[in-house]
Amino acid sequence: MLDTSKLVNRCGGYRMAPSGAVTDAILLEIASQYETTVSRKITALKPDDLLRRFTGDEPILETTKYDGEGVFVYCEQGKEAFAFNAPSGRVRLGFPALQALQDELQKKGVKKGLFRAELYLPETGDGKRARISEVIRVSFNGTEAEVGSLKLALLDIIMLDGKDLRSNLENFNQAWALLEKYFGTDASRPFHRAEGAIVPEKEVRRVFDQELGRGQEGLVIRRLNRLDLYKVKPHLTVDAAVIGYVEGEFEGQIGVTSILTALAYPEKRNGTRFFQTFVRIGSGLTDQQRVELLGTFSSVRVASPIAMTDSDGRTVSFVKPQYVVELEGDDLVTALGSEREHRTQFFAWETNQFNFMGLTPCPRLTFPIFSRLRLDKDIASGGARFDQIIKDPRVPELKPSLPQEARIIRREVYTKAEAVRKLVVVQKGGENVVPYVVYWTDFSAKRKDPLSVDTAFAFTEPRAQALGNKFIAENVTKGFAKVGANGQAAATESESSPTTPKVKKAKQNKTGP
């Protein structure tokens, strides 16, 4: 059932495989179908929706919304239990909560079972809720003690001793009772049925407020007689400055496809105001707003301090920081699924222009959407304050780091008659630099301008490689041949960072926004 060659020993008896470790195609297909079926039935609600949607006395199930990672758990007598994700096949096994769960099922005579669960961490020592980013960090690189603190909240029984129980999705009373029978309700144990209760639907708002009061993320609400699921958690609202936008085509029209926002530090120095890039938003805009905002923002364009594009390669145009937009989002996170901090661009605004100062840590708003343009607010009076998301923010003191030698991590050369096209991906060192630069060189002796170079920037190697692949896909046309194996085109090529005699245009991938 598992490809053990993919498992990596982490600590103690705990092992994991990042992906592709489940070899039982039927098991993986059942889990994937279940995931798809349930996810399609989940509706996200705002707290204010509860009083409008749930007004009667119909019994309804409310459960705690855990800030963890959804997993499937497979147990079979004579084999080691494992938790996995579908369809990726990521596997974890040998952690104490899973071992305790397997022991309990064996005592109760269960021979085989497939269960849906949430892998989560209990509250931290200061009483704060551990977030999914911390769960992922611990599961990949945690200490033995941290792995030992992982817990499993059981959400559903999918298969049990050869019986297919997926029909219980539309009659969840039976599943709720079975979860209590096999896993209990004691949330202090390493595994347990998800915390919750069946209540009259008109009580849901009270329960939601109660859950938030004890530090939980929100609620999952389920109709017991049909597959209707709702998740509800408080939405964060943040006012941010507009510092840029992307123009593009949509539905046969031209307008704003996304807005680049930033937050302002309270401190000013010699008339200079400092901004930290926050998020880039494209969701929530109506077609009419996209067209109208293009006219509004294009009238206050300024020179770009650095080259930036969106994920489709469209240029970000910078604007004077005079407009404020209201954003909504689910949560603020400080990490990117590991210990690496989320960092964004730090700008100084002076003499009607932005100056790029470097990259500094900044919390990320998850699932941001545009709410409205706040014409009643402005930057000068604090309309886009950084202290909306960070207590007592201070202007970063960025110290220039010593330059480090650049390293070429990819080079490929393609030729066709006298034409030469070359890709070079360079990794640069330094604390406050964009670490990856992608150069695409196009030379043709017969053109009026024989040499042109496109430049793109990336903050991760996978993104840099993807940009390189895009250059190749768009420019290596029929008739071009790759020179040398594995891109080692030329013994005559210099190993130093490439020069760019003529830069036709520059591109940069999106960062934290």
Question: Six-digit token pair at 44?
Answer: 């996200």
pLDDT at 295: 94
Q: What percent of the chain has pLDDT over 70?
A: 89
Identify the bridge partners of residue 437 per DSSP, sorted by sequence position: 426, 457
> Please, is 199 exposed, middle or buried when counting C-beta atoms within 10 Å of its C-beta (0-12, 13-18, 19+)?
middle
Q: What is the pLDDT of residues 322-350, one digit of tens each?
A: 999 999 887 777 644 434 567 889 999 99
Contact 234, 217 (CB under 8 A): no
Tell me whether strands 191-193 and 112-120 are parallel, antiparallel or unpaired. unpaired
Q: What is residue 177's three-state secondary structure?
A: helix
Do both 162 and 281 map to the same domain? no
What CATH number should be reported for the domain holding residue 99? 3.30.470.30
Do both 249 and 314 map to the same domain? yes
The total domain count for the chain is 3
Helix (H) or strand (E) holding 467: helix 461-475
Radius of gyration, alpha carbons of the chain:
27
Examine residue 34 and state whether it is found in any structural domain, yes or no: yes
Q: What is the pLDDT of residues 457-481, one digit of tens each?
A: 777 888 889 888 989 988 998 889 9
Contact 123, 135 (CB under 8 A): no
Tell me whether strands 91-93 and 82-84 are parallel, antiparallel or unpaired. antiparallel
Contact 459, 434 (CB under 8 A): yes
Range of the domain at 161: 4-44+65-202
pLDDT at 491: 33
Examine residue 9 and state whether it is found in any structural domain, yes or no: yes
Examine residue 412 and state whether it is found in any structural domain, yes or no: yes
pLDDT at 299: 94
Measure the CA–CA gap between 258 and 279, rounded to whole angstroms. 10
Q: What is the pLDDT of residues 189-226, one digit of tens each?
A: 999 999 999 999 999 999 999 988 887 888 999 999 88
Residue 134: how many other CB atoms lie within 10 Å = 21
Examine residue 400 and state whether it is found in any structural domain, yes or no: no
Do both 383 and 465 map to the same domain? no
Q: What is the pLDDT of residues 291-303, one digit of tens each?
A: 999 999 999 999 9
Examine residue 334 and state whether it is found in any structural domain, yes or no: yes
pLDDT reading at 30 higher than 90: yes
Establish how many alpha carbons lie within 13 A of residue 435's alpha carbon, considering only the half-sphere containing its beta carbon: 14
Do both 72 and 28 map to the same domain? yes
Do both 172 and 303 map to the same domain? no
Q: What is the pLDDT of residues 151-165, one digit of tens each?
A: 999 999 999 999 999
Q: Lowest-pLDDT range, 63-72, 139-148, 359-368, 488-497? A: 488-497
pLDDT at 340: 53
Do both 419 and 380 map to the same domain? no
Do both 177 and 147 map to the same domain? yes
Question: Six-digit token pair at 478?
Answer: 């029929």
pLDDT at 127: 61
Question: Six-digit token pair at 309?
Answer: 């594009």
Which of 151, 178, 202 terminates a domain? The answer is 202
pLDDT at 313: 72
pLDDT at 454: 81
Q: What is the pLDDT of residues 252-268, one digit of tens each?
A: 889 999 999 999 999 88
pLDDT at 404: 62
Examine residue 286 and state whether it is found in any structural domain, yes or no: yes
Do both 439 and 377 map to the same domain? no
What CATH number should be reported for the domain holding residue 367? 2.40.50.140
Measure the CA–CA gap between 439 and 456, rounded to whole angstroms. 7
pLDDT reading at 497 higher than 70: no
Q: What is the pLDDT of residues 386-427, one digit of tens each?
A: 989 888 888 887 654 445 677 899 999 999 988 999 999 998
pLDDT reading at 495 higher than 80: no
Report the mean per-residue pLDDT for the chain.
Answer: 86
pLDDT at 337: 40
Q: What is the mean pLDDT of residues 339-368?
A: 84
Do both 103 and 152 map to the same domain? yes
Q: What percent of the chain has pLDDT over 90?
A: 52
Contact 323, 241 (CB under 8 A): yes
Q: For tokens 């595994």, name the residue.
A: 191
